[in-house]
Structure 1
Amino acid sequence: MAVPACADSFELVKKLNEGQQGTSNLMRNKLTGEMVAVKFIQRGPKVDKSVEREILCHRGLSHGNIVKFLEVFLTPEYLGIVMEYTSHGEMFDYVASKGHLAEAEARYFFQQLICGVEYCHKMGVVHRDLKLENTLLHVEEGHAPRVKICDFGYSKSMRYHSMPNSTVGTPAYIAPEVFLRSGPDDAYSGEASDVWSCGVLLFVMLFGTYPFGDPKEGNASISKVIERIVTARVSFPPEIPISREAVDLFSKIFVPDASQRISISGIRSHPFFTTNLPWEFQVNAPLPLEVRQSDEDTRSILQEARHVDTSMQVPFWDRDIVEMEINPTPVSSMDTEANDWTITADELRDMLACMDVAPDPCAGVPAMQQAPQGLGGMGLCAAGGKSRQSTPSPALSTGSSGGFDPLQWRSHPVPAATHSNASSDQVQRVSSTEVSSSSPAGLGLGGGLHPRPRR
């Protein structure tokens, strides 16, 4: 078993980004030389049930398509969560830098996403906030790129928690049944809502835009987006052709009635998924669980993290950690009265009632609606609330045609923890516009396709 971490075991390499809860830094273990990502959350009330849920859910998972959880430690001011470092940052930055992905490349990443989600569900964990910003891209020289799921802050585990019964997530990715809950005790299937989010993620990779924007408006209002989500009104940009298999899969994912929606196992047997499926994704084997701390030790550190300890010696790098101000309310909400983008369940139901939404629960994707040339409905903007510092995703090394060609790797086994790059069909960038000032960054409702704002 590895030696438990302490603050003095690490040295700061560089800052990675700022999230809703805190700051992530690239750090080096001074004893082993291991490069890790450490998420710092201010001690005290910010170490709440959500943080505890994230850690307890994440620490029991071990899979090639999930960021590896390693351990936790304390500084006088922060709780440090040590995780595997991924070299190429968020999938959001990679997709935004290219505009959209060729279908073969999007399929390859989607296959990995589904493998990771399937494993989570088998382990009794539902993620509830799957999106491009919560999938990371790791590349090692000589190996194919690896997608890794991260950020289990909204997750629930059958081992520790009840059925999902709260409206959480990022609006553009949230399933209809999450919006249409009748009350605080109205539970829903976390597995089915994860499937819906996977469909949105695939759509964004293929088109560089969200599926439920108003094709006549560059900047869709939240109420209109919700109305289109609960009725599964999808707009396919006509300037980007996709295969019949892709359209068929969308028609089975974007079904308002969760009980009629395709399952993860159904996706795995669908022709879109099985096309050029690498052998390791057919097996989808987990990795050995690397336990560095016992469950008891982890809980003890979390309990201690709820209090600030002024007696501890401050590591030299601790003062350099940037802590951002955040709204702790989940991004499930959109209240305009207080102008703080929070809303109660009653307010959400009232808003839906005002829209006179009456979805056909068994309906799938309707006939293809064509968005205006060059618009494609909603564009892509970052989720996560306030602007956050982030490192641009390095380009995958490619051939002259640009992009990544997964077929190049079909004859080569891909080890579970390795990655890389190659070439693919040339992709074209969707035209971009500025995000409307009336649509806050983080809700996925902005105008055009552009990388996350940087400071």
Structure 2
Amino acid sequence: MVREGGGGMRLGKYEIGRTLGEGNFGKVKFARHVESGQAFAVKILDRKRILELKADDQIKREIETLKLLKHPNVVRLHEVSASKTKIYMVLEYVNGGELFGKIDLKGKLSEQEGRKLFQQLIDAVSYCHEKGVYHRDLKPENVLVDAKGNIKLSDFGLSALPQHLGNDKLLHTTCGSPNYIAPEVLANRGYDGSMSDIWSSGVILYVILTGNLPFDDRNLAVLYQKIFKGDSKIPKWLSPGAQDILKRILDPNPSTRINMAGMKSHDWFKQDYIPAVPYDDDEDINIADAALPIKEHDEADDHRAPSHINAFQLIGMSSYLDLSGFFEKEEASERKIRFTSSYSPKDLFEKIEGIVTEMGFQVQRGNGKLKVKLHLKGSASLNCPGSLSVAAELFEISPSLYVVELRKSYGDSSLYRQMCAKLSDNLGICKSQQLLMTQSLMTEACKFTSEMTHAAL
């Protein structure tokens, strides 16, 4: 039960405080247990928004998955309750930000620091696999860091459980983030969730140690060809052990790729390794009956109009890939927004630079990306009002159509949303322009299919 009191909003035994972040489904609020004083994070999800985005299965999957996991390197779910309009997930409070932000600030981490984080990541991922959970969206943005520098794996909305395996005991849903997705996931022939998570973990390790992505290209077809070939350049300045483990993880053939046991017995990995011990408590997670299912079946739903099909869904119908939602204009979430534009890359970067400079931001260019930063005098911390860092990157769909991705590293959420709105309003294309481009995108889809088939062979 949520109510307003003299000390602010109350959710049962929790006092709700400041907003920690905002996403597509609602907000994350700081909370404190009234009796113990312990800090928590409460995800407040809007039921209507979840249904509008057809994400009810995703939310249910995340809750079901987190119920199973009790590990020091996995974000802990403590309680789930609901009202007619909201779902409340009471989670462990992690106050150190994302691994992405840590790498972005430092550029790259030392092998000693990077190895410690990677050991914790592998402990968390291998524990999930033992519980029958495959994450399927491992990336630095989904790895949190606490005040002591320990990692907490989060965001299990795309995870798979044993009941999601096919008759061949493999997974078949193509999902994940473009730069971190395993080649066998793209091939659409079924894949082992454990081996695909290992690949994504290896991409994270590469980013931790080098500050760069092992597979990157503005053109998505070229990016996926690089992933299929395992075409990464492992720097010679890394230690021989680091080079070897990266080479063995980023093997495009899952049958010869190093597995969890091999990784944990690797000499580089074993240095100063202290295995994490899963929690042995029997805490019973309270999930209110009203929380799941998110919506009862309604016969009127059987007569809904067909959902809008975007460019990447068209490509997905005729090739190996379905990146639904990558094409359509999104609302600014807490971490990133994507919108489509018909401006050339050169013009886009120049126009973005001009717009954000007028807003008072500083701009840095490099490696095909653009970084936007703002620090006001008197800013005491990275997350205080007036401080913001955003990276802008382009992806090519066709020679006349690009996706702009704006990803927040840290800073003021209000400033970030203002900047996203201004850029997408000025540089994005409208729905009528999208319709005019459908024919050319279908042609591009056929070309994409041919290129991907050739790469897979």
Normalising by structure 1, we get a TM-score of: 0.65
Deviation at 1:132, TM superposition (A): 0.5
The correspondence for 1:301, drawn from 265, 273, 290, is 290
* More helix as a share of residues: 2
Would the alpha carbon gap of residues 242 and 158 (structure 1) be closer, same or farther in structure 2, given more than 3 Å must change?
same
When the two chains are superposed, the root-mean-square deviation of aligned CA atoms in Å is 3.4
Residue identity matched to 1:83: L
- Residues of 2 paired with 1:137 and 1:378: CA distance? 28
Specify the SS of the correspondent of 2:176. coil
Name the residue aligned to 1:105: 113
1:288 equivalent in alignment to 2:241 = no
- The 5 A counterparts of 1:15-414 are 15-44=19-48, 45=51, 48-140=56-148, 145-158=149-162, 162=166, 163-181=170-188, 186-214=189-217, 220-236=218-234, 241-277=237-273, 279=274, 281=275, 284-293=276-285, 297-298=287-288, 300-303=289-292, 305-306=294-295, 338=310, 341-342=312-313, 345-349=316-320, 392=382
Query: Which letter maps to 1:150?
Result: S
Q: Kindly tell me the number of residue pairs found equivalent between the two proteins.
A: 329
Q: Distance in 2 between matches of 1:33 and 1:204?
A: 37
Aligned partners of 1:58 and 1:270: how far apart in 2? 30
Measure how far apart 1:146 and its partner are.
1.0
How many angstroms apart in 2 are the aligned matches of 1:376 and 1:199?
Answer: 24
SS of the aligned residue for 1:435 comes to strand
Larger radius of gyration: 2
Structure 1 residues 37 and 343: CA distance shift in structure 2, 3 A: farther
CA contact (8 A) 1:17 1:24 kept: yes
| One of 389, 393, 402 as aligned partner of 1:435 | 393
| SS of alignment partner, residue 12 of structure 1 | strand
Q: Tell me if structure 1 keeps the 8 A contact 2:133–2:160.
A: yes
Q: How does the TM-score come out when normalised to structure 2?
A: 0.64
Amino acid at match of 2:155: D
Cα distance in structure 2, aligned partners of 1:393 and 1:435: 22
Q: What is the rounded CA distance, in whole Å, between the counterparts of 1:290 and 1:207 in structure 2?
A: 41
Distance 1:74 1:347 in 2: 40
Alpha-carbon shift at residue 272 of structure 1 (Å): 1.6
1:231–1:379 Cα change, 3 Å: farther
Deviation at residue 207 of structure 1 after TM alignment: 1.6
Q: Which runs of 5+ in 1 are unaligned?
A: 1-5, 215-219, 308-328, 330-334, 352-373, 383-390, 395-431
* Compared CA separation, residues 40 and 436, structure 1 to 2 (3 A): same
Deviations 1:251-293, CA, capped at 9 Å, x for gaps: 111111111111011111111201222x3x2xx3211245343
1:20 Cα shift?
Answer: 4.2
Corresponding residue of 2:421: none
SS in 2 for 1:111: helix
Change in Cα spacing, 1:254 to 1:350, as seen in structure 2 (3 Å) is closer
Equivalent-residue separation in structure 1 for 2:46 and 2:187 (angstroms): 34
Q: Which amino acid aligns with 2:317?
A: D
SS of residue in 2 equivalent to 1:107? helix
C-alpha displacement of 1:148: 0.8
Cα gap change, 1:451 to 1:350, in 2 (>3 Å) = closer
SS at match of 1:65: coil
Aligned residue number for residue 324 of structure 1: none
**Shift in CA distance, 376/108, structure 1 to aligned 2, threshold 3 Å:** farther
Q: CA deviation at 1:441?
A: 2.1
> Contact (CA 8 Å) 1:213, 1:235: kept in 2 or not?
no
- RCO higher in 1 or 2 (8 Å CA, sep ≥ 6)? 1
Report SS of the residue matched to 2:291.
helix
Match of 1:424 in 2: none
Counterpart for residue 378 of structure 2 = none
Q: Percent identity?
A: 30
| 2:14 is the counterpart of 1:10 | yes
**CA 1:346–1:275: 2 relative to 1, 3 Å:** same
Question: Contact 1:7–1:75 at 8 Å: present in 2 too?
Answer: no
Letter of the 2:220 partner, please give it: I
Asked if the contact 2:174/2:321 (under 8 Å) is kept, the reply is: no
Name whichever structure is richer in strand by fraction. 2
Tell me the distance in 2 between the aligned counterparts of 1:379 and 1:275: 35
Give how far 1:348 is off.
3.2
